[in-house]
């Protein structure tokens, strides 16, 4: 390789590494059943551009079942399975788990290593929102999401 080609390759590699370093957050995409999938797609269209002042980004892989805001990312996943804490017979079942209603939507609260995971309950699809501790009080993001959830994910059991 000539000296000229080596000098050209370095800036290109620098740009490639910088692009990778700025990539969107990886989010595990759920696989909701048909009815839940329909509600999740509708929710995706109604999600706000900001939550708690955080701008919406692009989750990787791109999906109608996921969304992110901020960095570190607040993540939303729609169509997740029923949380273990609500599943009778599971190792973590807890019939008195912490839950609260925020703007007409009931959420299960689960403390994580860094922040909280909130999951809708009594809806036809489970919507999970994970909020890093950086954004304490973590519950604040739910006020910006409740309207979209109420509009698109009907109440049910």
**What's the rounded Cα separation, in Å, for the pair 154 and 157?**
10
Q: Mean per-residue pLDDT for 32-54?
A: 97
pTM for this model (two decimals)? 0.83
Tens-place pLDDT, residues 71-106: 999 999 999 999 999 999 999 999 899 999 999 999
Q: What whole-number percentage of the chain has pLDDT above 70?
A: 84
Domain boundaries, the chain: 25-152
- 3-state DSSP call for residue 131? strand
Asked if 72 contacts 132 with a C-beta cutoff of 8 angstroms, the reply is yes
Closest CA to 51 of 156, 154, 138: 138
The token pair that represents 114 in the structure block: 């860094």
Give dist(CA 61, CA 67) in Å, integer: 10
């Amino acid at each position: 390789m000539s000296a000229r080609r080596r000098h050209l390759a370095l800036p290109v590699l620098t740009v490639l590494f910088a692009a990778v370093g700025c990539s969107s957050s990886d989010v595990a995409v759920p696989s909701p059943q048909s009815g839940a999938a329909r509600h999740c797609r509708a929710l995706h269209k109604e999600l706000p551009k900001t939550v708690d002042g955080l701008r919406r980004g692009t989750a990787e892989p791109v999906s109608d079942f996921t969304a992110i805001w901020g960095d570190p990312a607040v993540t939303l996943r729609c169509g997740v399975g029923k949380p273990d804490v609500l599943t009778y017979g599971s190792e973590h079942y807890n019939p008195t788990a912490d839950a609260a209603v925020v703007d007409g939507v009931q959420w299960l609260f689960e403390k994580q290593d860094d922040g909280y995971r909130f999951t809708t309950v009594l809806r036809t699809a489970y919507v999970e929102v994970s909020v890093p501790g950086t954004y304490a009080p973590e519950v604040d993001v739910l006020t910006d999401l409740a309207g979209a959830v109420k509009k698109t994910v009907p109440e049910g059991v």
